[in-house]
């Protein structure tokens, strides 16, 4: 349970930092690349043993780390584009409703059984995510921009499902820290290649504030992944229940963080969503 709470906490911290990026006009892509390198370094600091590259590439989870590195940075960037074009609430809904993907795979791959009450709870949780994140004003401006929320939905769901699969079949308990570090390094590698490409095309302007933003983001980002994998390993709940609790709790905590730190207003619709979310949590943990 402690790993679940810590994962929720660090994900909420990420929400606060990302919100500050817009306030200080920080370029997300540059900060993102720096953040992944910092997360990699943080992982190295907490490792009990040294990294041996020739041994890492023989690990069963190494190809999964490469895949996740690509999905991490592309999904995060798609989330940013969604926020800019469709609104932050749309990005949040697309990301958190992606819990459908790991839940479905949990039933198919791990023979998890969902009771009628849990199914109702999961469905109510999805509705709660929508109402909690929905703003009073419509934020989707063009039907053509539907592509970005779809990419966020697929990417976020793929990340959760892949982490569960790798944790179940390939990543032993004593390798979780190493797996997290290598995955972040893979994401950094994809990001730095992207930045080099954009630099040659003259589309990147470097700034010290972007580097600082990435450094600040890197520490909680590492622990958000580390404790997510530890949470899955603990098996306190079935993955369907666990991902539902995790995602809905992040939405609730992030909403309250927005109210406390950014003076965001909560509408009756949002309040209804929070109440519904708490009821949904009760059902899925019943």
Taking only the tens of pLDDT, the chain with its 286 residues reads: 799 999 999 988 887 888 788 788 888 889 999 999 999 999 999 998 778 888 999 999 999 999 999 999 999 888 877 766 766 666 777 787 888 888 888 888 888 888 888 889 889 988 888 787 766 554 444 554 678 888 988 999 999 999 999 999 999 999 999 999 999 999 999 999 989 888 888 777 778 999 999 999 999 999 999 999 999 888 777 888 888 889 888 888 888 888 888 787 778 888 898 889 889 888 887 6
Judged by DSSP in three states, 141 sits in coil
pLDDT at 61: 96
pTM, full prediction: 0.86
CA distance 100 to 123: 9
CA distance 129 to 133: 6
* Within a domain: 98: yes
* Within a domain: 276: no
- Name which of 109, 113, 223, 99 is nearest 160 in CA terms: 99
* Within a domain: 259: no
pLDDT at 59: 94
Domain that holds residue 82: 2-114+141-234
Number of residues assigned to the chain: 286
Q: Are residues 273 and 131 in contact, defined by beta-carbon separation less than 8 angstroms?
A: yes
* Within a domain: 218: yes
pLDDT at 266: 78
Domain total of the chain? 1
* Within a domain: 280: no
pLDDT at 41: 95
Look-up: residue for tokens 């539907």? 146
* Within a domain: 215: yes
pLDDT at 37: 96
* Within a domain: 132: no
Q: Are residues 28 and 84 in contact, defined by beta-carbon separation less than 8 angstroms?
A: no
Query: What phi and psi values does residue 71 have, to the nearest 5 degrees?
Result: -70, -35
pLDDT at 16: 83
């Amino acid at each position: 349970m402690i790993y679940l709470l810590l994962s929720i906490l660090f994900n909420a911290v990420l929400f606060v930092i990302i919100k500050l990026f817009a306030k200080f006009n920080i370029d997300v892509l540059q900060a993102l690349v720096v953040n992944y390198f910092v997360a990699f370094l943080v992982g190295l600091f907490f490792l009990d043993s040294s990294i041996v590259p020739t041994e890492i590439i023989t690990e069963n989870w190494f190809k999964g780390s490469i895949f996740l590195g690509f999905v991490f940075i592309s999904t995060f960037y798609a989330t940013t584009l969604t926020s800019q074009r469709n609104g932050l609430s749309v990005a949040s809904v697309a990301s958190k409703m992606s819990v459908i993907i790991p839940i479905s795979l949990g039933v198919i791959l791990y023979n998890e059984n969902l009771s009628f009450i849990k199914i109702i709870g999961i469905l109510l949780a999805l509705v709660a995510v929508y109402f909690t994140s929905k703003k009073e004003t419509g934020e989707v401006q063009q039907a053509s921009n539907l592509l970005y929320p779809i990419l966020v939905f697929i990417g976020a769901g793929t990340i959760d499902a892949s982490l569960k699969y790798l944790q179940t079949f390939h990543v032993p308990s004593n390798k979780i820290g190493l797996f997290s570090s290598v995955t972040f390094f893979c994401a950094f590698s994809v990001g730095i290649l992207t930045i080099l490409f954009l630099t040659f095309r003259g589309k990147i302007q470097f700034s010290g504030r972007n580097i600082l933003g990435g450094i600040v983001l890197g520490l909680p980002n590492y622990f958000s992944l580390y404790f997510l994998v530890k949470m899955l390993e603990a098996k306190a709940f079935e993955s369907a229940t666990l991902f539902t609790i995790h995602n809905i709790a992040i939405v609730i905590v992030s909403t309250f963080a927005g109210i406390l730190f950014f003076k965001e207003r909560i509408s009756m619709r949002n309040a209804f969503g929070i109440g519904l979310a708490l009821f949904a949590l009760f059902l899925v943990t019943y």
